[in-house]
Structure 1
Amino acid sequence: MTHISYDEWKRYVKNELNETDLERYDDHLYTCDQCLELYLEAVNEVETELPVLSNEDEFTNLIMAQVSESKGKIPVTKIPFYQKTLFHYAIAVAMTLLFTMSGVFQSITTYVDAVEGPELKESTPSVTEELVNKTFAWMDHMKNKGAGN
């Protein structure tokens, strides 16, 4: 891993780098603890060169005023009614009621009964029945074996 020099971190803190270098340095900070320490040292050194706010309350009030002015300027995108969840639920309810009232669900059940047919109803016994039958057969075998001695 290539480390970034202290002077480069100072340029980064002063925002004197181009966009690609800024992004590369940002990504590097997430993976390198050594460079993170150099970055923090550079921030501490450059901090003395930054302008000091004379009246912090006035600055805060100015920022808050700008925020409240821009609040009305933020474009609000309205979601069309057909993209809302409630619309989708309403369509599902309407289709369910329509299918129920028209008898579609009833015709589906008769179709299933016709497809299922008698040959499927006379299928092999279930696993539980087979297990019980084998158990009884084993017990009968043991009983007969014991009686034969």
Structure 2
Amino acid sequence: MKHFSYDEWLNYVKDETNEKTREEFESHLYTCDQCLELYLQAVSVHESSLPILSNESSFTDLVMADISKQEASNKKPEVQKQAVKAKKPFYQQVAFHYLLAAAATLLLTFSGVFQSLATYASAVEAPQNMKEKKPSVTEGVIDKTFAWMDSLEKKEANKK
């Protein structure tokens, strides 16, 4: 990442850079904290030479009005009319998709597919050979430990 020097940020604050460079500096500020710090230092040094707003609320209102005007002028009337006239086909509308999903659900329910799935799921859940249950390794270790402790207790009891 290319960083800019304090002098370059000072020129930016004084508005002594071309438009392309200004855009590059502004996009760089979004990603670089180090350069943001240099920019803030340059602004604080030249704070006295920056223009002062006499009425901040009217300035904000003017900016918002200009933005609204630009947005309105950027919209093409022909495109707006075409957007109103262009209607989606029935198969691309949300209601069609909901009806299709509901019909598929009813079909699967009444045909017994969900019942078959439930039977299959319960068969997979329950092990086939419940009688041949093997103890886990942990249970085996615990059983051996208790057996060893019982044998130690018996030896102690025989000594007394």
- Give the structure-2-normalised TM-score: 0.48
- Counterpart amino acid of 2:34? T
Question: 2:15 aligned to 11, 15, 23, which one?
Answer: 11
Deviation at 1:45, TM superposition (A): 1.1
Distance verdict in 2 for CA 1:105–1:136, change over 3 Å:
farther
Partner of 1:143: 153
Provide Cα deviations, 1:104-138, integer angstroms capped at 9, x if missing partner.
23323444527966347623124664455335423
- Give the structure-1-normalised TM-score: 0.50
Deviation at 1:10, TM superposition (A): 0.8
Structure 2 contact 6–38 (Cα < 8 Å) conserved: no
Distance verdict in 2 for CA 1:18–1:65, change over 3 Å:
closer
Deviation at 1:3, TM superposition (A): 1.0
Partner of 1:108: 117
Deviation at 1:47, TM superposition (A): 1.3
Find the aligned partners of 1:138 and 1:130 in 2 and give their Cα distance: 12
Find the aligned partners of 1:8 and 1:58 in 2 and give their Cα distance: 23
Deviation at 1:94, TM superposition (A): 6.0
Unmatched tracts of structure 2, length 5 or more: none
Partner of 1:123: 133
Partner of 2:34: 31
- Counterpart amino acid of 1:142? L
What SS does the corresponding residue of 1:11 show, helix, strand or coil?
A: coil
